[in-house]
Structure 1
């Protein structure tokens, strides 16, 4: 059996299991297949098994794939934004998960072609205020939110968080739930803001328990067969 097919099926079962366990709606949870350093053939295989959304970290690697894969893929940019590559992101992706500044928001809005729908964007939050991690600190969030909401060609959809290194599941859930509460506050105030991009191959349970509705999964899709539940 194909590894990617097997892994996607196992992943689906895992998500269903945790959705049931934590009383979440399974159909509300979207999987982004993180395809950085994965071949075009692997992406096409995952697509053929039903995966439609793929996430890339590096613009130059991503653009080669986007230009060579003639499939209706929803491309997500999940890496650190570089100013000299903003126009490529604006013109080629459906989502950008990693906005951390007014400058990048403004440039994405500037370069987004009029003929395309607004670019869906997420603000990346650095929940532990770690100096070596990308993302804004919470106290800066609303200032950036209000700025983005005035722009016409990008659409604020929510927030993105990288996994916390803490090993204790319950402590992670407590921290992640704070992010969910922040999203709910934004959702009540801003139209279209409905997405919490939180959860990787290593913290699926904590993410679902906390209310994440977008998981960024790489290893559990593309590595050799991984048994979950």
Structure 2
């Protein structure tokens, strides 16, 4: 038995997220079907984490076990020859049998793209969140930096989130301006359901002056109603998953 690791890029527009659904199209299901065509056997693909409906990935990591007589690196081209064009295997390799894409992850980086212009974009519409308001980038940056650290992020997750432990660590937040595009990268040891999208929505609401409250007070409140909107799914990308503690040097 071999353990095969995949690094996957996908456009989430046409999928109900990563995780397999009973009646909806998912990224996991499409790739599993592709592997079945190659190996003639069903497999279970273990992803590093779920992405929601409409969310994209640049570096999703997943593993599966197989006894097929196929070298690990060959799955890349084999799968890319049959997968739809909005899913691409960037790398494939055989890895230690004990490796698990989710349980061994040390940190993740999510990228969020905002299109900040008074008119919408036909080009960027499926890959960014359109914000037509003038934003104070200094306020956005100061508030983003205050999110760095270890906190209970109850205010920044969906009320539907049933997980008792909502403490997470944000290692770094990096903001890059590219013309009308604002890219925010969040790196942390884990993220709650909708956490990145709610943090982004809150930063936008602070930067446009809708929220006057200090973001640290919102954190301390542990109240979802004190935070901002949930930013649109299409602006979010799972960019990278890290499997070493010294993630900054990877």
TM-score category (smaller protein) = under 0.3
Q: Which has the larger radius of gyration?
A: 2
Relative to total residues, which structure has the larger helix share, 1 or 2? 1
Structure with greater strand share of residues = 2
TM score, norm. by length of structure 2: 0.25
Give the TM-score taking structure 1 as reference length: 0.27
